[in-house]
């Protein structure tokens, strides 16, 4: 089954912020944000054990527990086991993400991409999410940003373990789809080059945005589209940089990024276009993209995302971005060229 046939709607909800990403979010605020997403009509929710060491899954599970399960789709991730044992959060090695989840639960996180760990991870997620099934499973972070020079060894471990286990679960009908959930293009290239197993799609965060899309366009988007697979775009606002935030890639934005944002915004302002609309609609214009999942930790953000999705963006805005060299000549745009 194609990813686009599994995921309801173009706009999903990325739940990383519910794991206390960057700040300690009150329970009531987290609950209100999930409720706002539901009331808006969002029916695709992406999660991961990594988000706050299980906190995001617990919060989402509580918030959705009273909703009809057949009415929504969940994706979560494998590759990390969350233990009951606690640890010093400051001692965790989270690669480039540093202390992103320092306000999450202090439970120990163990990286493990074996088949047995994959099955255990799914069972643990089912419990935290208060559900009896998960539609989509992504293999989380088998990439350079977490494992540096060791990433190819981690990928190979996942190939022998998680990939084969998930391929089997999909073929048996236990899950509907699987793939990689990564912040880098290279692991997707590597998996697409294998004869087996057969993923259904990918969650690609931060690599198909207005601020960074060249490599994805060159290396994976055409292959994904040709094979009838799908991409879920995470991080469409580039950690907030695109919409005026200080961070890009979970760290303070570099001067060249801030300059690019300013140039895009100047054109957007001339055309009366919001930066959120530019970011979301750019991502969704690519035929390989099944959905986009901006994160939110405040109820008001959901309404902003929906308004951005529905905003009428003039064709000349996209043409000016193209002529200014701010989008790749190869990038599909939401206009008829």
**Beta strand pairing status for 73-78 and 136-140?**
parallel
Which token pair is 278? Answer: 């530019």
Q: Are 334 and 318 in contact (CB under 8 A)?
A: yes
Closest CA to 166 of 113, 110, 227, 111: 113
Cα dihedral 242, 5, 288, 282, rounded to 10, equals -30
For residue 66, the Cα-to-chain-centroid distance in whole angstroms is 25
All residues at 6 or more sequence positions from 28 whose CB lies less than 8 Å from its CB, including other chains:
none
Which token pair is 317? Answer: 């805005």
Which token pair is 225? Answer: 């589209």
CB atoms within 10 A of CB 300: 11
Q: Are 57 and 76 in contact (CB under 8 A)?
A: yes
Give the pLDDT score at 306: 96
Q: Are 164 and 139 in contact (CB under 8 A)?
A: no
Q: Is 9 left (phi over 0), alpha (psi -120 to 50) or beta?
A: left
Whose structure tokens read 């679960």? 169
Residues that are catalytic? 46, 51, 77
Give the pLDDT score at 169: 98
Consecutive H or E run containing 16:
none
Alpha-carbon distance 236 to 211, whole Å?
9
Buried b (16+ CB within 10 A) or exposed e, 147-178: beeebeebbebbbebbbebbbebbeeeebbbb
DSSP per residue over 145-163, as a string?
HHHGGGHHHHHHHHIIIII
Query: 134 forms bridges with which residues in the sheet?
Result: none
Q: Is 21 left (phi over 0), alpha (psi -120 to 50) or beta?
A: beta
Alpha-carbon distance 302 to 298, whole Å?
8
Q: Are 312 and 272 in contact (CB under 8 A)?
A: no
For the whole model, what pTM was predicted? 0.95
Which token pair is 319? Answer: 């043409």
Give the pLDDT score at 85: 94
pLDDT in tens for each of the 337 residues of the chain?
899 999 999 999 999 999 998 889 999 999 999 999 999 999 999 999 999 999 999 999 999 999 999 999 999 999 999 999 998 777 666 665 657 888 899 999 999 999 999 999 999 999 999 999 999 999 999 999 999 999 999 999 999 999 999 999 999 999 999 999 999 999 999 999 999 999 999 999 999 999 999 999 999 999 999 999 999 999 999 989 999 999 898 788 999 999 999 999 999 999 999 999 999 999 999 999 999 999 888 899 999 999 999 999 999 999 999 999 999 999 999 986 5
Give the pLDDT score at 96: 57
Which token pair is 235? Answer: 């991080």
**Sign of the C-alpha dihedral computed for residues 103, 120, 59 and 7 taken in this order:** positive
């Amino acid at each position: 089954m194609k990813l686009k046939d599994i995921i309801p709607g173009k706009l999903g909800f990325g739940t990383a912020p519910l794991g206390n990403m960057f700040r300690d979010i009150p329970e009531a605020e987290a609950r209100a944000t999930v409720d706002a997403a539901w009331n808006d009509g969002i029916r695709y929710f992406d999660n991961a054990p990594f988000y706050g060491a299980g906190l995001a899954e617990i919060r989402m599970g509580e918030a959705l527990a009273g909703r009809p399960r057949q009415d929504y789709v969940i994706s979560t991730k494998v590759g990390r086991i969350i233990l009951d044992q606690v640890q010093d959060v400051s001692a965790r090695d989270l690669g480039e993400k540093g202390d992103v989840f320092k306000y999450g639960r202090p439970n120990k996180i163990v990286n493990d991409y074996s088949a047995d760990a994959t099955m255990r991870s799914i069972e643990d997620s089912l419990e935290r999410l208060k559900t009896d099934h998960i539609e989509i499973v992504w293999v989380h972070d088998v990439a350079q940003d977490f494992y540096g020079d060791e990433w190819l060894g981690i990928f190979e471990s996942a190939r022998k373990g998680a990939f084969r286990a998930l391929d089997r679960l999909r073929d048996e009908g236990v899950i509907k789809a699987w793939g990689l959930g990564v912040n880098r293009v290279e692991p997707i290239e590597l998996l697409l080059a294998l004869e087996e197993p057969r993923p259904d799609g990918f969650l690609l965060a931060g690599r198909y945005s207005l601020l960074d899309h060249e490599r994805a366009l060159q290396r994976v988007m055409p292959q994904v589209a040709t094979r009838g697979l799908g991409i879920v775009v995470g991080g469409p606002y580039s950690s907030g940089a695109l919409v005026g935030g200080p961070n890009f890639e979970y760290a303070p934005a570099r001067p060249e990024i801030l300059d690019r944002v300013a140039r895009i915004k100047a054109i957007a302002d001339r055309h009366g276009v919001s930066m959120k609309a530019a970011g979301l609609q750019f991502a969704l214009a690519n035929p390989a993209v099944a959905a986009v999942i901006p994160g939110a930790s405040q109820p008001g953000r959901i309404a902003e995302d929906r308004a951005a999705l529905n905003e009428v963006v003039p064709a000349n805005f996209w043409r000016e971005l193209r002529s200014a060299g701010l989008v790749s000549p190869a990038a599909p745009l939401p206009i008829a060229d």
